[in-house]
Amino acid sequence: MYVKNKMTINPKTVGPESTISEVLDLMHEFKIHRIPVVEKGKLVGLVTQGVVQENTPSHLTTLSIHEMNYLLSKTRVKDIMIKKVITVGPEALVEEAADIMEKKDIGCLPVVGDSNVLLGILTTSDILKAFVDLFGFYQEGTRVTVLINDRVGEFAAFTKLFADNGISISHFTNQGNEVVIRCNELNKKRVRELLEKNGYTITSIL
């Protein structure tokens, strides 16, 4: 699963000369928290909700609404943006990107190509959607968790059992000797009987 297949393409962007007021309007209108800063198609920075808040007068300020709006309309993105942006390439694995985000404690990774051209953005929301897709959550069928022996050829025999009975496996993942699959068979009873008849231990079937 590659970043290029799960990233948000054509994300909302701002330029270095944009104002904080414009950034806030975009964040509010499109319900986003991070906006890449682009100049001539190339990524030059990142502005986040946190960065904006750090550079916005608090609600305890003595400034009037008029004075605050004036300040926001005059402050430029280039003056507050994150300049050393952590990025990822489109050919990177999604799990690699997720690992970077977890280790760096960041909520997004701009996706860049040659010469730092912005191609898209990968957010925690995109990662979660990829996780849901991995398990085929919205696909009709049966989701079953099975214990299989950890030996050569065991998984091949397991999948062949489904194929021989006209059942297609659309998604699978495993950890240790526990395998989770989703198949196109709607009849859960048939799946259970097929597996138990062949000696497999089912820990969950939905």
Q: pLDDT for 80-111, tens place per residue?
A: 999 999 999 999 999 999 999 999 999 999 99
Query: What pLDDT is recorded for position 69?
Result: 66
**In the block, which residue shows the tokens 């800063």?**
37
The C-alpha atoms of residue 109 and residue 86 are separated, in whole angstroms, by 6
Structure tokens at 116: 């730092």
Pair 55, 71: CB distance under 8 Å: no
- pLDDT at position 78: 94
Residues 6+ apart with CB under 8 A from 69: 21
Q: Residue 175's pLDDT is what?
A: 75
**Alpha-carbon gap, residue 46 to 195, rounded angstroms:** 51
Residue stretches of the chain with pLDDT short of 50: 60
pLDDT score, position 60: 47
Q: What is the pLDDT of residue 85?
A: 96
Report pTM. Answer: 0.74
Please report the domains of the chain, with CATH numbers, ordered by start residue.
3-132 (3.10.580.10), 142-205 (3.30.70.260)
Q: With b meaning 16 or more CB within 10 Å and e meaning fewer, what string describes 62-71?
A: eeeeeeeeeb
